[in-house]
């Protein structure tokens, strides 16, 4: 809370906000933001508890999200830190952050932009990079839920170039959802339709999956700690910043980035 209150105080100073013109102090605003993230407290409740209007509550929330997300690490920096920490590989895994916003026309007639056919719900696709023990070190911007992990990874301007540059020292392990990116992301061998895998391929898959599966903890950790990430009722295009803000809170609370 102290960390976030400090960021909010600096933001007010940057904006030239005069003393006494805000309904809440930086500390009270920080508490509002953290209650929303950690407990997914409804804004109507947060507004009543702080004797402010709902619209003002949302203004305070979005301001908190923005100042936190601005502190999120770049992927290049996160990979350099992972290498410096002695890691040999990182994991990449996509997660769907559900949203109750819908009815946004997609590029294909009759298909909603945010509808995930895989998960059968609306949401945004977030790519998460983690270190071997499943600690998340970077999260991407949001892509519509209709996009698969491969498409989402290709669309991110930072992701694949950074992983390619780091490949000599830091391999990226992913599941078969990244099969189309095998030149950048190491995936398991896919069983042929009319045959089986060679013994050496089976052994590789066993070793690969035992390492990669731990990386799924990164996604679970974010959703377990921050209840707001289980279903977001805000503009779905804000999901990327919301997850990035949650990552900064996680890193700060535990004093750990890699």
Asked whether 218 and 134 are in contact (CB, 8 A), the reply is yes
| Torsional sign, CA 76, 135, 216, 96 | negative
Same domain, 86 and 211: yes
Question: Which among 69, 98, 119 is the end of a domain?
Answer: 69
CA distance 246 to 100: 19
Number of domains the chain contains: 2
Q: What pLDDT shows up at residue 182? A: 85
Same domain, 56 and 100: no
Confidence of residue 66 (pLDDT cuts 50, 70, 90): very high
Same domain, 140 and 216: yes
Q: Mean per-residue pLDDT for 76-81?
A: 96
Domain that holds residue 207: 75-254
Q: What pLDDT shows up at residue 101? A: 66
Same domain, 22 and 92: no
Q: What pLDDT shows up at residue 142? A: 97
CATH number at residue 223: 3.30.420
Contacts 24+ apart (CB under 8 A), 10-19: 10/67, 11/63, 11/67
- Reply yes or no on whether the pLDDT at 242 is more than 90: yes
Confidence of residue 106 (pLDDT cuts 50, 70, 90): confident
Same domain, 166 and 150: yes
| Mean pLDDT computed over every residue of the chain | 93
- Reply yes or no on whether the pLDDT at 63 is more than 90: yes
- Reply yes or no on whether the pLDDT at 173 is more than 70: yes
Same domain, 25 and 61: yes
Asked whether 71 and 99 are in contact (CB, 8 A), the reply is no
Q: What pLDDT shows up at residue 88? A: 94
Percent of the chain whose pLDDT exceeds 90? 83
Question: Which among 69, 92, 119 is the end of a domain?
Answer: 69
- Reply yes or no on whether the pLDDT at 180 is more than 70: yes
Same domain, 81 and 19: no
Question: Which among 49, 69, 89 is the end of a domain?
Answer: 69
Higher pLDDT, 104 or 128: 128
Q: Mean per-residue pLDDT for 101-113?
A: 75
Same domain, 63 and 87: no
| Torsional sign, CA 46, 66, 135, 221 | positive
Q: What pLDDT shows up at residue 194? A: 83
| Strand partners of residue 129 | 92, 138
Asked whether 29 and 238 are in contact (CB, 8 A), the reply is no
Q: Which residue has the tokens 């990874």?
A: 153
């Amino acid at each position: 809370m102290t960390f976030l209150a400090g960021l909010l105080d600096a933001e007010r100073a940057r904006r030239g906000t005069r003393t006494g013109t805000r309904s809440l102090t930086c500390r009270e605003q920080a508490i509002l933001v953290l209650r929303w993230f950690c407990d997914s407290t409804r804004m109507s409740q947060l507004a009543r508890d702080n004797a402010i209007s709902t619209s003002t509550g949302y203004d305070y929330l979005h301001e908190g999200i923005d100042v936190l997300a601005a502190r999120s690490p770049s992927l290049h920096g996160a990979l350099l830190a992972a290498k410096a920490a002695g890691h040999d590989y990182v994991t990449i895994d996509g997660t769907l952050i559900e949203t109750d916003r819908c009815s946004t026309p997609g590029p294909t007639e009759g298909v909603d932009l945010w509808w995930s056919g895989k998960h059968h719900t609306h949401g945004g696709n977030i790519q998460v990079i983690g270190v071997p023990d499943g600690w998340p070190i970077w999260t991407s911007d949001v892509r519509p839920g209709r996009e698969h992990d491969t498409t989402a990874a290709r669309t991110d301007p930072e992701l694949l170039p950074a992983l390619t540059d780091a490949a000599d020292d830091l391999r990226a392990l992913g599941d078969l959802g990244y099969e189309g990116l095998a030149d950048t992301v190491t995936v398991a061998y896919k069983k042929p339709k009319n045959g089986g895998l060679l013994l050496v391929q089976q052994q590789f898959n066993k070793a690969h999956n035992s390492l990669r599966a731990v990386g799924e903890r990164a996604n679970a950790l974010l959703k377990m700690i921050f209840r707001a990430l289980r279903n977001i009722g805000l503009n779905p295009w804000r999901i990327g910043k919301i997850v990035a803000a949650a990552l900064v809170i996680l890193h700060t609370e535990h004093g750990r980035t890699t």
